[in-house]
Structure 1
Amino acid sequence: MDWQDSKRFVSHLDLDTFFVSVERLKNSQFMGKPLIVGGLSDRGVVAACSYETRKFGVHSAMPMKLALRLCPHAIVVRGDSESYSYYSRLVTDIIAESVPVMEKASIDEFYVDLTGVDRFFGCGKFMSELKSRIRKETGLPISYALASNKLVSKVATDDAKPDGQKEVAHGQEKSYLAPLPIDRMPGIGRKTSTLLQQMGVRTIKTLSEIPVPMMQNLLGKHGVELSRKANGIDPTPIVPYSEQKSISTEETFQQDTIDMKFLNSELIRMTEKLAFQLRQSKKLTGCVTVKLRYSNFDTVSKQMVIPYTASDTVLIAKAKELFAKLYEKRMLVRLIGVRFSHLVHGSHQISLFEDTEEAVRLYQAMDILRNKYGEETVKRAISIPPKPKKV
């Protein structure tokens, strides 16, 4: 089938070594040098690293001490989440105003649906010009791949890096994927990879040849999905990006109160709960809103655009700051609410440069316990509310 007969034109864009690229924009002396973004202490964690360090075995989420042992001449800088959020939004705005439909997959990844654009401009030319515009207006290198679906475009973007572009013609999806190792397939984690390799499955071609019933018996529904993907089939739609996506919680008290200890503990409890939900859904928030309703039913709220994060510590501090600006002393409070919006897909990685290795492990351990025994299993002592004082 000819490329032009394809009904879908999907492109995946990925900002190359995003944190590193931003740091190089801020300081040109870092250009071409081995650079690590993360915690500055030996107990810190690598949040991002340049290509120059990767050849020594350095990778993100690695303990900083080990990274410097592997690449002792690397330059280490503490990350700047405010700058990364700023540049992410800058690129988001450029893409959003240029394409019919955009999905923001993470702070530095995007999918765009160009179906129909081929009739007027040609998708390849359109994407090449968009890439140039992003580079010109932001200074950031970005790679992209154009294909008939999200899966193939994402895999192909890795082949386009750094700062490159690639097209996989319609009808060539299966043959393009075939020689690649199974680890390149999105959705195949360490456990699944180990299982398949023990069966002698090392390439996507071999994976595509396993009968679907066998894959289903082996991995259930996930096995059926992997079989489809191995054949280059992915009907997953582009999910239109919206800054209005949010999660929220609020509490109406049985009795109106001015007990600051109680209100503070409730605020922390709700923020902590939402932060856990963010991490569970592998998302980050870029905006915090706090709402208060007084005993006279007057309702007020304030919001703050913040660097993307899913960190309890950061979000609790922001929520408390907003509460302090909202609360009018001696007025009885009837309701308090917290909302996170401007959500994007992403991991806790953007906060790794603020945390030690021990802090990251603590977050992971707490979330594991919450998953197993419930959200209320582990919490800060200060978030356990005293009974509100009667007035």
Structure 2
Amino acid sequence: MITLQQRSIAHFDLDCFFVSVECLKDRSLIGKPLLVGGQSDRGVVAACSYEARRYGIHSAMPMKTAMRLCPHAIVRSGDMEKYSMYSRWVTDIISRQAPLYEQSSIDEFYLDLTGMDKFFGAEKWTKALRERIILETSLPISFGLASNKLVSKVATNEAKPNGQLVVPYGLERAFLAPMKVEKLPMVGKETAAQLRRRGVETVQTLSEVPVQLLEAWLGKHGIALWNKANGIDETPVVPFHEQKSISTENTFHADTIDLHFLHGELVRMTEKIAFELRQQNKLAGCITVKIRYADFQTVSRQMTIPYSCADHVLLEKVKELFTKLNDRRQLIRLIGVRFSHLVQGNYQISLFEDTQEKIALYQAIDGIKNRFGGDALMRGVNVEQHNERKHRKAGVLPFYKPERYLKEVAKTRPYVS
């Protein structure tokens, strides 16, 4: 029987993904300091080339700061639609070859190759897959192969750019030992600073600290950190097809054709599940809108979109789908919105046209919703409907506005008077 410690886990990571796609579009950019992000003074760096990193530039840095560090850097605004297309292309290649894979972000994948040594050899198979991806897409990609997800990811980072690294079973701890603690995933500047103040700078030193002491220093995070330092990670590879969608729907108190009301509901539902996306640090690649008419006929329509979790991006697509779908001009009893094709990622990667203010705005909105609840902030179009829902829950019927209903009906059924 194969134990968890004897697994073979490969981690693939597309190197400087956005930058690499830009270089495919324009070969003259290869080897030059390239920034992808907002081009205004208020813009933000979403990605940068290795050449730009030598000047101290990193993602999430204000574009103005980056240009001060490297005045001759080339800036591209970014093309999320193109990046999503290449991501799906690589995903398709992996899905055709791998027995079990997990897409952990728009440009990262984990593959469980346990048991493959009996047939082809996990290392040989992984190298062949990397070569196939490079041959078909022309994108540089690195991989690490080890007994668990943690070590394979660290190995990938060590193999970059455009390389490969295998950590044999049993050598996980020795591989990690000489590294700085920041090399471990999820160890940020603050945690690293706390450890340094206590004399812990390398992974080896961290692994030798008693786990009870680490727990006293860092709480439960200290236990997880001790496991990482010792190369222990039993996290499974979650099959991509098991990644769940996020959805919501609403059956109305009375069937309606009031477009003002329906659009308000779409805004409310989209904001609600977009907030859930950001809370789970996920991006959606597909939107589905569902309508159920008064005669109970149900129709739906979906659209593949560039990966996003931003309200203003998702809402535009939701409204577009609803407009195309609602062609019967009949009373509606239910509408629903679903986001699917979920991958790990955050709002930052789609900020090519956004500013620092917009980043701060989303962070502030989510902070308020986390503290006071999802209804603490909403667009103005939803205020009236929110109050009506509160009245209904309290048993108080809102003032009915028949003129709005008749006005909407008259637009689509002029024979009604």
TM-score range, shorter chain: over 0.9
- Higher normalized contact order (CA 8 Å, seq sep 6+, divided by chain length): 1
Shift of 1:384: 2.7
Amino acid at match of 2:95: A
Q: Is the 8 A contact 2:5 2:148 kept in 1?
A: no
- The alpha carbon displacement at 1:380 in A equals 1.7
In structure 1, the partner of 2:350 is 351
**1:190, distance to aligned residue in structure 2 (A):** 2.9
CA shift, 1:202, in A, is 1.0
1:389 CA displacement: 4.3
Aligned 8 A contact 2:144 2:153 in 1 = yes
* Counterpart residue identity of residue 242, structure 1: H
Displacement of 1:305 in angstroms is 0.3
CA distance in 2, matches of 1:243, 1:380: 33
- Structure 1 counterpart of 2:258, one-letter code: D
Q: Which moved more, 1:360-369 or 1:13-22?
A: 360-369
Partner residue, 1:168: 167
Question: Following the alignment from structure 1 to structure 2, what is the Cα–Cα distance between the partners of residues 376 and 139?
Answer: 46
> CA separation in 1, counterparts of 2:274 and 2:5?
41
CA contact 1:279–1:347 (8 Å) conserved in 2: yes
Q: Is the 8 A contact 2:18 2:47 kept in 1?
A: yes
2:59 corresponds to: 60
Larger radius of gyration: 2
Unpaired runs of 5+ residues, structure 1, are none
* Counterpart residue number, 2:7: 8
* One-letter code aligned to 2:217: L
C-alpha distance in structure 2 between counterparts of 1:352 and 1:203, whole Å = 35
The offset of 1:286, in angstroms, is 0.3
CA drift of 1:243 comes to 7.4
- Kindly tell me: are residues 243 and 45 of structure 1, through their superposed partners in 2, closer, same or farther at Cα, counting changes over 3 Å? farther
Q: Which runs of 4+ in 1 moved over 3 A?
A: 385-391
Q: Which residue of structure 2 lines up, in the alignment, with residue 204 of structure 1?
A: 203
Structure-2 residue corresponding to 1:373? 372
- Alpha-carbon separation, structure 1, partners of 2:120 and 2:329: 63
Partner Cα distance (2:378, 2:185) in 1: 34
**Pairwise mapping of residues 154-165 of structure 1 onto structure 2 (< 5 A)?**
154-165=153-164
- What is the RMSD of the two structures over their aligned residues, measured on CA atoms? 1.5
Letter of the aligned partner of 1:271 in structure 2?
T
| Deviations 1:186-212 (CA, angstroms, capped at 9, x unpaired) | 122233222212211111111111111
Match of 1:105 in 2: 104
Contact 1:36/1:76 (8 A) holds in 2: yes
Q: What pairs with 1:283-322 in structure 2 (closer than 5 Å)?
A: 283-322=282-321
What is the alpha-carbon distance in structure 2 between the residues aligned to residue 118 and residue 96 of structure 1?
19
Matches within 5 A, 1:1-391: 7-242=6-241, 245-328=244-327, 330-386=329-385, 389-390=401-402
Q: How many residues align?
A: 387
Equivalent position SS for 1:384: helix
For residues 6 and 298 of structure 1, do their structure 2 counterparts lie closer, same or farther at Cα, with a shift above 3 Å needed?
Answer: closer
Instruction: Using structure 2 for the length normalisation, give the TM-score.
Output: 0.90
Stretch moving more, 321-330 or 101-110: 321-330
CA separation in 2, counterparts of 1:341 and 1:80?
21
Checking the alignment, whether the CA contact within 8 Å between 1:308 and 1:350 is kept in structure 2 is: no
Partners of 2:198 and 2:380 lie apart in 1 by 49
Show structure 2 runs of 5+ residues with no match: 389-399, 406-417
Q: Distance in 2 between matches of 1:202 and 1:45?
A: 31
